[in-house]
């Protein structure tokens, strides 16, 4: 099997699974317990927190552990909105965010918050001028994904941060679920985000692990209340085996970032050139300015499901769009925002690379895709 759906989820590294099992077996005490065993487990928890804080350049007490990207995004959005509504109720996001952001914003809109959406160009990138024009004195939050999960567009995070911090009091939340471990993701003063959200299973970690991190202490309301764990902001017994495994996945991803970036760029560019040989039968949604691990394209007048099934019969796993919405029948909101021609709207396919893919698989895919195009399009 050739697995090219790594933006949906990744296979955990063996080292990550080993760490998870070892900690589960040997360090299973509750880290909040005051006995010696609990203290020992808490030391493991704080060591993992320190490692991640070092990677993203913040203080350990500004790193909180969650169940994944959706919870982290919800936490950032609802937490900031609830705690800062005395300043204003104006919030901004983009048209092409993940559902965990867009649905949170829609919920707030029903609760009386004023939401504005930034448009994108045909490369999936926002306009800094439009962002600047929408910022107001009562803007309290701007949420923006670093890398789009469906077609890989990279947003100008540093420019956006600078404008947001210069022209408003808004907190800048960056959804880094698709960028962490593939691009450099760190806090960087006024030219960086205030909040970063990360998911473990996108970087060969285990499912059910995530991070919400802050550049500094923020006025944010807890999403989950109870025993006061995670500095009173995210109650519930902290699953230390998952956290330690997540820290391991983060270290591996950042240690191999440059190596994987070069490899993915080579593969993406090579496949783009390959797809271009089919002329107007294929339309590329992704660009070479985007993230190298995501390549989205569409086949004229074919539904994505048809292409997926034809590839799957030959042992290739890809997706139609984001895994969270691929079972829905309607056209992706990202495809709509990009103004994709009607002949290509229903045939969008996403290839996404991971650390376990190989050069040989790229070449195998090309031959298989030729067979599929001959079968479905006669070319």
CA distance 268 to 256: 18
Cβ-based neighbour number of residue 292 at 10 Å? 22
Token pair, residue 94, equals: 């983009």
Cβ-based neighbour number of residue 81 at 10 Å? 22
Nearest residue to 213 via CA among 108, 23, 62, 47: 62
CA distance 66 to 205: 14
CA distance 223 to 45: 21
In which region does residue 230 sit, left (phi positive, over 0), alpha (psi from -120 to 50) or beta (all else)?
Answer: left
Nearest residue to 101 via CA among 73, 64, 62, 66: 73
Contact 282, 297 (CB under 8 A): yes
Is 250 known to be catalytic? no
Token pair, residue 18, equals: 């080993």
Residue of 17, 272, 284, 324 marked active site: 324
- H or E element that contains 322: none
Cβ-based neighbour number of residue 252 at 10 Å? 18
Nearest residue to 1 via CA among 296, 365, 323, 272: 365
- H or E element that contains 351: strand 348-352
Contact 145, 94 (CB under 8 A): yes
CA distances to 63, 103, 205, 207, 280 from 8, rounded to whole Å, are 24, 19, 13, 11, 28
Exposure b/e, 295-328, CB count within 10 A at least 16 = b: bbbbbeebebeebbebbeeeebebbbbbeebbee
What is the set of active-site residues? 324
């Amino acid at each position: 099997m050739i697995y090219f759906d790594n933006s949906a989820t990744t296979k955990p590294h063996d080292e990550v699974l080993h760490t998870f099992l070892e900690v589960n077996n040997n360090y299973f005490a509750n880290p909040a317990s005051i006995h010696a065993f609990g203290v020992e487990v808490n030391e493991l928890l704080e060591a993992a927190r320190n490692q991640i804080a070092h990677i993203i350049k913040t203080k350990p007490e500004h790193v909180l552990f969650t169940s994944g990207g959706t919870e982290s995004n919800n936490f950032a959005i609802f937490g900031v909105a609830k705690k800062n509504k005395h300043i204003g109720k104006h919030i901004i996001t983009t048209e092409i965010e993940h559902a965990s952001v867009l649905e949170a914003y829609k919920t707030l809109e029903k609760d009386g918050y004023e939401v504005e959406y930034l448009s994108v160009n045909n490369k999936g990138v926002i306009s800094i001028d439009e962002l600047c024009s929408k910022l107001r004195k009562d803007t309290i939050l701007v949420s923006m994904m670093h890398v789009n999960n469906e077609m890989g567009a990279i947003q100008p995070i540093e420019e956006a941060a600078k404008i947001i911090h210069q022209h408003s009091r808004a907190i800048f939340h960056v959804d880094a679920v698709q960028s962490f471990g593939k691009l450099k993701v760190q806090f960087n003063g006024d030219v960086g985000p205030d909040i970063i959200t990360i998911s473990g299973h996108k970087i060969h970690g285990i499912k059910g692990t995530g991070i919400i991190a802050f550049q500094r202490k923020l006025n944010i309301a807890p999403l989950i209340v109870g025993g006061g764990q995670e500095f009173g902001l995210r109650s519930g017994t902290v699953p230390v085996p998952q956290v330690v495994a997540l820290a391991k996945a983060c270290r591996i991803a950042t240690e191999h970032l440059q190596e994987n970036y070069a490899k993915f760029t080579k593969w993406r560019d090579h496949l783009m050139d390959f797809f271009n040989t089919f002329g107007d039968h294929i339309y590329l949604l992704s660009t070479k300015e985007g993230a190298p691990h995501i390549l989205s394209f569409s086949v004229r007048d074919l539904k994505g499901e048809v292409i997926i099934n034809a590839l799957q019969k030959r042992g290739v796993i890809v997706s139609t769009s984001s895994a969270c919405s691929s079972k829905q029948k309607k056209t992706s909101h990202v495809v709509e925002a990009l103004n994709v021609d009607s002949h290509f709207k229903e045939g969008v396919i996403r290839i996404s690379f991971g650390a376990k893919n190989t050069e040989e698989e790229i070449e195998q895919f090309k031959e298989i895709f030729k067979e599929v195009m001959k079968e479905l399009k006669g070319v």
